Chains A and B, each alone.
Chain A
Amino acid sequence: MAAHLKKRVYEEFTKVVQQHEDLSAKKLRLTKPSKSAALHVDLCKATSPADALQYLLQFARKPVEVESVEGVVRILLEHYYKENDASVRLKIASLLGLLSKTAGFSPDCIVDDAINTLQNEKSHQVLAQLLDTLLVIGTKLTENPSVRMRLVEVACKHLTDSSHGVRNKCLQLIGCLGPVEKGVAKEAESQAAKDVQKIIGDHFNDQDPRVRTAAIKAMLQLHERGLKLQQAIYGQACKLLADDYEQVRSAAVQLIWVLSQLYPESIVPIPSSNEEIRLVDDAFGKICHMVSDGSWVVRVQAAKLLGSMQQVSSHFLEQTLDKKLMSDLRRKRTAHERAKELYSSGEFSSGRKWGDDAPKEEIDTGAVNLIESGACGAFVHGLEDEMYEVRIAAVEALCMLAQSSPSFAEKCLDFLVDMFNDEIEEVRLQSIHTMRKISNNITLREDQLDTVLAVLEDSSRDIREALHELLCCTNVSTKEGIHLALVELLKNLTKYPTDRESIWKCLKFLGSRHPTLVLPLVPELLSTHPFFDTPEPDMDDPAYIAVLVLIFNAAKSCPTMPALFSDHTFRHYAYLRDSLSHLVPPLRLPGRKLVSSPVSPSITPHEDPSQQFLHQSLERVYNLQHLDPQGIQELLEFTIRDLQRLGELQSELAGMADFTATYLQCQLLLIKALQEKLWNVAAPLYLKQNALASAAAKQIVEETYKMEFMYSGVENKQVVIIHHMRLQAKALQLIVTARTARGVEPLFGMCEKFLQEVDSFQRCFISELPRMQGSFVDKLLDLMPRLVTSKPSEVVKILQTTLRQSTFLHLPLPERLHRASANIIEPTGESDNPLRFTSGLVVALDIDATLEHVQDPQGTVKVQVLYPDGQAQLIHPKPADFRNPGPGRHRLITQVYLSHTAWTEPCQIEVRLLLAYNSNRSKATAKVPKSTWNESMEALPQPENGIEGTIPFSKPVKVYIMPKPARR
């Protein structure tokens, strides 16, 4: 039995194989040069519809060249008429559509044929497909109004078809191609496609919901194409809101919205009364009603659209937040109202007693309207919705409306604050952001502030940071509020010490916004006593610093405050002003040495003295370039030191100072290298110095890359100087090699390469050259004709002299310059517990880092892991791991997978962030016009332009890990 079965299996198997061979043989034929001929042959050969369908399917898999499209279309049409099977015709129809999409093919020649096919078609599906094809053709021929008119006429004719698919497609076609320029349409052609709007409007009451949807969509399509919809359809659209099908309702909501934007001020009657209201208000009410629809798709749609209806009158707007509460037929106040009352009465407790929310006055049963017409409570419902999509949409809408209406902003505050406790983090985050956006219009009450501050303990860093941002720009009404905020922020600080910076920043703004509210709190905050000296607080305590930041910022605009300070406060001020200058503003302190106020009072407050200093020291360097080498070196060294110190002190100027310091450093290295004596002596004797010079050259090259890619705000002016410096370094390298290398062969290559670089430099920065008088490159370019023809040894000689004679270029400073920096927050590198894992398996290490002033972090930031054995691993984080909390700031939250063979004891690995660069993407070259760039690429292979590298730009963090041997 079993054997028999087996045999059968084999039999069947072989059969299958045969079929395969059959198919592949046909495939070969298809690749013949003439597609249409091959197709024709195939289709003629096909014995059954199934066969023909197979051929067509195979055919569809391959692209068709533009030239042969028409031929193929003719063949297909020919078969179309012959074919009896609907499925094959359907496939042909869809192929026609696909073919007419071919880029470069103009389908005017097949329009007539395509329309003709419709005539005798009986199958609804094929008809629908053909209409789809016509749509494709029509969209390709939008410039041809007569074709469009014809197609629309055809579509109108088929609108009476009994199949929903056909009517659907007809409407779609009319929507996409119907004449938009009304009135311009000539009388002759306008008879058939009289008024597309009316034709489409007639199908709003079609029996099939899909057709109704298509009709509304077509109407919207017309609107998008610029046709002004008639107000008359408003009534129809309103009826569609009560449709049984969600897609119809969803489309109808859109249509109503469109109409409300078109005719905001028209007057519409309210049914069942003689009153009239503005259309936009009516539409607003209707869309609000849809926020409590049965289908969440419609709810999302409605909630989203509400946000963009800004013309609505405030009376309606405020209704959206209204919900009359009652209990046992007696009016009840909402928790919000109660909170407000409690606040104004000075009490602070709620819900303590069970009768607290006891209903008050009796309600007239007749007056209660349970199903309210209009906007009542739309947002109350939307914000409590089951689906978070709806809630987010509602929050967004609330935000948009509140931004345009301050009174509404004030009213929606309670609801937004409530959303801070949503169960889904996205919603919470969204509502915090929203609140921040509308913060100009609002002042927080104490009880609201209390709720807001409660969220500070959230374990999600995103939420906390968003909240800090929010607090930065909120208005608080009372001094208790400030105190409360401070207390909560300090609590937050103790719980999450990593939030330090963010909290300080937050307090800085809080202080400077509310100086008068902080003033009465100062004695308490500093715990000063009128008679007794209190112990001096610890200066390194982040909480104390936080308090001081608040006070000092408030004191800036409140001159009476410093009188309340005790002695040590002044000392601490001096210290903080120095160490945290970005958080502590300069103060005028009475009766004290003005610790930080400028020495010369002539300087206007606008001009920062430190900026002054920066420029002065640079001037000094640039002016003194003809001093003796020794003097230059010393001056450079001092200036570099000054600049570095300045960068540490003044964070706003750090970028600028570092940038210039690096440049001067490069210059210094270059001068030093050129001072070497080796130039006068035979090379082999001075191998050591030699090493020094080549090291200097190498370092300069590295530094120039850093200058070019690590700073944001570098302009072309700077780039040219940087490139120039790099060129000098390369020249130096060449000279050094020439001195040490044996033989001339390697020199040939190097020389050529160098000259190419000079050449490309000239091409890239042609516009900048006039400003580089007397520089290295200027001189070099003068000598260029000579250089090209001379031997390498001569070239080297020339280079050497030019390098020595060349002047020191002035580095112009851009407006803003920021150094890219990264700070790894997690892992902290303080843990003594090794991360244990089985060797050969992977362990995930969470990395959390903040990046500042990095452009395009997704493309450039990499994570490097260095193992103790020197092995290095480079990880590209996913683009989704980067978040953008503010301009110029990014946050990287990612996981890196570590793995290693077993170790005997735990050891530390280093994790750091790298900034990858590619000189191809250099800012300078990007600005060169495309054409020249392409030409040069073709002319010269430029290996230099492809250099890729990485710059470490964060402090490495050590992580203790321990791969254990696997247990057997």
Chain B
Amino acid sequence: MPEIKVTPLGAGQDVGRSCILVSIAGKNVMLDCGMHMGYNDDRRFPDFSYITQNGRLTDFLDCVIISHFHLDHCGALPYFSEMVGYDGPIYMTHPTKAICPILLEDYRKITVDKKGETNFFTSQMIKDCMKKVVAVHLHQTVQVDEELEIKAYYAGHVLGAAMFQIKVGCESVVYTGDYNMTPDRHLGAAWIDKCRPDLLITESTYATTIRDSKRCRERDFLKKVHETVERGGKVLIPVFALGRAQELCILLETFWERMNLKAPIYFSTGLTEKANHYYKLFITWTNQKIRKTFVQRNMFEFKHIKAFDRAFADNPGPMVVFATPGMLHAGQSLQIFRKWAGNEKNMVIMPGYCVQGTVGHKILSGQRKLEMEGRQILEVKMQVEYMSFSAHADAKGIMQLIRQAEPRNVLLVHGEAKKMEFLKQKIEQEFHVSCYMPANGETTTIFTNPSIPVDISLGLLKRETAIGLLPDVKKPKLMHGTLIMKDNSFRLVSSEQALKELGLAEHQLRFTCRVHIQDPRKEHETVLRVYNHLKGVLKDYSVQHLPDGSITVESILIQATAHSEDQGTKVLLVSWTYQDEELGSYLTSLLKKGLPQSTS
């Protein structure tokens, strides 16, 4: 039985280091190649030795697909392709291909330059790696080789995020990557057609959460910023450079425009400028509003948002500053935070999750006195707000996607085991499909039931469809023909042709059956009764009474003779060829039930 094997090297019952191996119909595909943010040792990258201990990876993998540019989905790529060694094709969408190297370079810089690690990939390696990348468009079917084809669907989440359908013959797998089923200020919602894959591999970050409407959050956020600015306070929004930052920028930019506000908004770091450039470029990947209005004005050409300079932090008057990094653990955002923390008019808004141990986490959990380096005590008087702006699908969104795609099996990755358990149960209960959640390194095997294409000669098809009623999708149709399996191909031909091709003589096969009927009347009367009965029952068939005393129903012959011993019993001889097996057996069973009594 054909099977699909899935082995997560990362992201199996875990968040981070997404890397999933799929073998489908003899093809091996690697989905994503991410790093883990929680580790600094070897565990940060997936264990590629699982694929092969010795020998080139290229021989074992047909292709690698990267769903989007977040480092937990592409962070290990240069290591994988340049240091471990892989020369096959790597597929990603155009925006991902454009932005990915920027992030990889940034990651490299932090690891090598700041933390002083050696034995890490170099800038050149990133470049070499990107040379192996093949960019794909949305909904473009790419033939990796003769049999393997992939297709990208829009996934929301971040610019360029895509879901991929991997298809070999009739078997297919859809990998969602990270996706978002509700639109936000700069991206649309994920969408997939009813592709009915054998397996849907979906993320499940928010498997146990149903989120509130985005509008409330946005409104709260805007209201808070607005109030603070009106009071003359300063607002600090620590963000990571890409993704949410752009959404918040658009949000504030449009709000400023709408409300005619004058307070300056600043955005720190040069990294973002480069990325913003790409956001301006890939307008087709953004949401409806931006796509519709970019002719008048590209929304990413911010009017109110300007580049930040360190000196601006001391300027009097209200302002809003986006600064990196997002968890206030280092860098510019922390510097600004220290400057502004003392004033109760100011505010800091944390737009995302903060890891334990960071300043962000401390202030969010209500700590008001922070110990900084050098034994300084920083008193936090500014307001601290938390706003969750996350772009993953929640439980409802996941279910909605499953409903859209109608897969035969579902496999959960990129989430916590406990939460997955719940979702798994729900999926099985509501869609009646089997659901899997393998841990890292654990292989799940899914048996498929692929339909096998068979060539049929046009003559036969036309002849067969002409018989009987119109073809109906909902009912299987019986067809007569001969299946020839030759030279690795299947053909359905008419039996005559098959005989001719194989050089065989035709043999007739007939079934005969005797049915005893209690009927004291004469033979021809019995025949007439049978005839009337059949005519009454089989309205759609041609029932004929032949002059020689026999009845034909289509090609089935019925003759009646008196029983040699008992004249009261008539023996009906029913004879049919094997082609009419269905009708013949029906007829016999019908006759066995006897004739209705009230015919005379």
Name A's B-contacting residues (CB within 8 A). Answer: 160, 162, 205, 207, 244, 292, 294, 323-329, 332, 334-336, 350-354, 356-357, 365, 368-371, 380, 383-388, 415, 418-419, 421-424, 451, 454, 457-460, 495
Verify A326–B287 contact, CB threshold 8 A. no
> Which B residues touch A352, using CB under 8 A?
383-385
Given contacts A323-B213, A354-B365, 11 further A-B contacts (CB under 8 A): A326-B208, A329-B208, A329-B422, A332-B210, A334-B216, A352-B385, A354-B350, A357-B212, A371-B399, A384-B183, A423-B254
Contact A336:B216 (CB < 8 A) given known A294-B193, A386-B189, A457-B259: yes
Show 21 residue pairs from A and B whose CB-CB distance is below 8 angstroms, ordered by the A residue.
A207-B472, A323-B210, A323-B213, A324-B210, A325-B212, A335-B212, A335-B213, A351-B220, A354-B350, A368-B426, A371-B399, A371-B430, A384-B183, A384-B214, A385-B183, A388-B288, A424-B289, A451-B219, A451-B223, A458-B259, A459-B259
Asked if B188 is an interface residue, CB under 8 A from chain A, the answer is yes
Picked from B226, B260, B395, the residue with its CB within 8 Å of the CB of A454 is B226
- Rounded to whole Å, the gap between the CB of B465 and the closest CB of chain A is 7
> Which B residues touch A383, using CB under 8 A?
213, 215
Picked from B182, B189, B386, the residue with its CB within 8 Å of the CB of A354 is B386
> Which B residues touch A354, using CB under 8 A?
350, 364-366, 386
Verify A459–B216 contact, CB threshold 8 A. no
* B427-452 near A? 1/0 per residue, CB < 8 Å: 00011000000000000000000000
> Which B residues touch A326, using CB under 8 A?
208-210, 395
Picked from B208, B288, B400, the residue with its CB within 8 Å of the CB of A292 is B400
Nearest A residue to B462 via CB reads A162
Picked from B182, B185, B403, B426, the residue with its CB within 8 Å of the CB of A423 is B185
* B248-285 near A? 1/0 per residue, CB < 8 Å: 00000010011110000000000000000000000000
Verify A387–B216 contact, CB threshold 8 A. no
8 Å CB interface, B374-417 against A: 383-387, 395-396, 399-400, 403-404
Contact A351:B213 (CB < 8 A) given known A365-B425, A370-B395, A423-B185: no
- Rounded to whole Å, the gap between the CB of B242 and the closest CB of chain A is 21
Contact A353:B366 (CB < 8 A) given known A335-B217, A370-B395: yes
Contact A205:B474 (CB < 8 A) given known A335-B220, A353-B366, A386-B183: yes
Asked if B211 is an interface residue, CB under 8 A from chain A, the answer is yes
Nearest A residue to B259 via CB reads A457
Nearest A residue to B255 via CB reads A421
Verify A384–B191 contact, CB threshold 8 A. no
Contact A418:B289 (CB < 8 A) given known A329-B208, A350-B220, A370-B399: no
Picked from B191, B213, B254, the residue with its CB within 8 Å of the CB of A294 is B191
Verify A421–B364 contact, CB threshold 8 A. no
8 Å CB interface, B85-132 against A: none
Measured in the bound complex, the distance between the Cα atoms of B257 and A459 in whole Å is 7
> Which B residues touch A205, using CB under 8 A?
472-474
Contact A495:B386 (CB < 8 A) given known A244-B194, A326-B210: no
Measured in the bound complex, the distance between the Cα atoms of B383 and A325 in whole Å is 27
Verify A386–B287 contact, CB threshold 8 A. yes
* B154-189 near A? 1/0 per residue, CB < 8 Å: 000000000000000000000000000011010011
> Which B residues touch A329, using CB under 8 A?
208, 419, 422
Measured in the bound complex, the distance between the Cα atoms of B189 and A352 in whole Å is 29
Contact A460:B383 (CB < 8 A) given known A386-B288, A388-B289: no
> Which B residues touch A244, using CB under 8 A?
194
Verify A421–B218 contact, CB threshold 8 A. yes
Verify A327–B474 contact, CB threshold 8 A. no
Contact A325:B211 (CB < 8 A) given known A294-B194, A385-B183, A387-B288: yes
Verify B208–A327 contact, CB threshold 8 A. yes
Verify B288–A162 contact, CB threshold 8 A. no
> Which B residues touch A334, using CB under 8 A?
212-213, 216
Asked if B471 is an interface residue, CB under 8 A from chain A, the answer is yes
Nearest A residue to B364 via CB reads A354
> Which A residues touch B431, using CB under 8 A?
371
- Rounded to whole Å, the gap between the CB of A872 and the closest CB of chain B is 33
Measured in the bound complex, the distance between the Cα atoms of B249 and A260 in whole Å is 46
Asked if B133 is an interface residue, CB under 8 A from chain A, the answer is no
Measured in the bound complex, the distance between the Cα atoms of B431 and A332 in whole Å is 25
Contact A457:B395 (CB < 8 A) given known A334-B212, A384-B182, A386-B288: no
- Rounded to whole Å, the gap between the CB of B533 and the closest CB of chain A is 26
> Which B residues touch A207, using CB under 8 A?
471-473
8 Å CB interface, B467-517 against A: 470-474
Measured in the bound complex, the distance between the Cα atoms of B385 and A49 in whole Å is 78
Verify A418–B193 contact, CB threshold 8 A. no
Asked if B557 is an interface residue, CB under 8 A from chain A, the answer is no
- Rounded to whole Å, the gap between the CB of A831 and the closest CB of chain B is 19
- Rounded to whole Å, the gap between the CB of B32 and the closest CB of chain A is 25
- Rounded to whole Å, the gap between the CB of B323 and the closest CB of chain A is 20
Name B's A-contacting residues (CB within 8 A). Answer: 182-183, 185, 188-189, 191-194, 208-220, 222-224, 226, 254, 257-260, 287-289, 350, 364-366, 383-387, 395-396, 399-400, 403-404, 419, 422, 425-426, 430-431, 465, 470-474
Nearest B residue to A417 via CB reads B219
Measured in the bound complex, the distance between the Cα atoms of B289 and A457 in whole Å is 21
- Rounded to whole Å, the gap between the CB of B507 and the closest CB of chain A is 34
Verify B399–A421 contact, CB threshold 8 A. no
- Rounded to whole Å, the gap between the CB of A458 and the closest CB of chain B is 5
> Which B residues touch A458, using CB under 8 A?
258-259
Contact A459:B189 (CB < 8 A) given known A294-B194, A323-B210, A350-B220: no
Nearest A residue to B261 via CB reads A457
Measured in the bound complex, the distance between the Cα atoms of B189 and A387 in whole Å is 10
Verify A495–B213 contact, CB threshold 8 A. no
The 10 closest A-B pairs by CB, nearest first: A335-B216, A386-B183, A354-B386, A418-B215, A354-B364, A457-B259, A459-B260, A329-B208, A370-B399, A386-B189
Verify B404–A160 contact, CB threshold 8 A. no
Measured in the bound complex, the distance between the Cα atoms of B288 and A371 in whole Å is 27
Measured in the bound complex, the distance between the Cα atoms of B212 and A351 in whole Å is 13
Measured in the bound complex, the distance between the Cα atoms of B259 and A244 in whole Å is 44
Measured in the bound complex, the distance between the Cα atoms of B220 and A335 in whole Å is 10
Measured in the bound complex, the distance between the Cα atoms of B287 and A492 in whole Å is 31
Verify B260–A495 contact, CB threshold 8 A. yes
> Which B residues touch A369, using CB under 8 A?
430
Contact A421:B222 (CB < 8 A) given known A368-B426, A371-B403, A459-B257: yes
Measured in the bound complex, the distance between the Cα atoms of B189 and A383 in whole Å is 14
Nearest A residue to B431 via CB reads A371
> Which B residues touch A424, using CB under 8 A?
289
Verify B385–A351 contact, CB threshold 8 A. yes
Picked from A324, A423, A454, the residue with its CB within 8 Å of the CB of B223 is A454
Verify A423–B289 contact, CB threshold 8 A. yes
Measured in the bound complex, the distance between the Cα atoms of B430 and A155 in whole Å is 44
Verify B426–A370 contact, CB threshold 8 A. yes
> Which A residues touch B216, using CB under 8 A?
334-336, 418
- Rounded to whole Å, the gap between the CB of A64 and the closest CB of chain B is 40
Measured in the bound complex, the distance between the Cα atoms of B9 and A788 in whole Å is 110
- Rounded to whole Å, the gap between the CB of A657 and the closest CB of chain B is 40
Interface centre among A244, A352, A421, A457, by most B CB within 10 Å? A421
Interface centre among B216, B217, B219, by most A CB within 10 Å? B216
Measured in the bound complex, the distance between the Cα atoms of B400 and A306 in whole Å is 21
Nearest B residue to A337 via CB reads B212
Picked from B219, B366, B425, B426, the residue with its CB within 8 Å of the CB of A418 is B219
Nearest A residue to B398 via CB reads A370
Interface centre among A335, A354, A424, by most B CB within 10 Å? A354
Nearest B residue to A331 via CB reads B210
> Which A residues touch B403, using CB under 8 A?
371
> Which A residues touch B400, using CB under 8 A?
292, 371
Verify A418–B474 contact, CB threshold 8 A. no
Picked from B183, B254, B430, B474, the residue with its CB within 8 Å of the CB of A370 is B430
Verify A384–B215 contact, CB threshold 8 A. yes
Nearest B residue to A376 via CB reads B396
Measured in the bound complex, the distance between the Cα atoms of B69 and A179 in whole Å is 62
> Which B residues touch A325, using CB under 8 A?
210-212
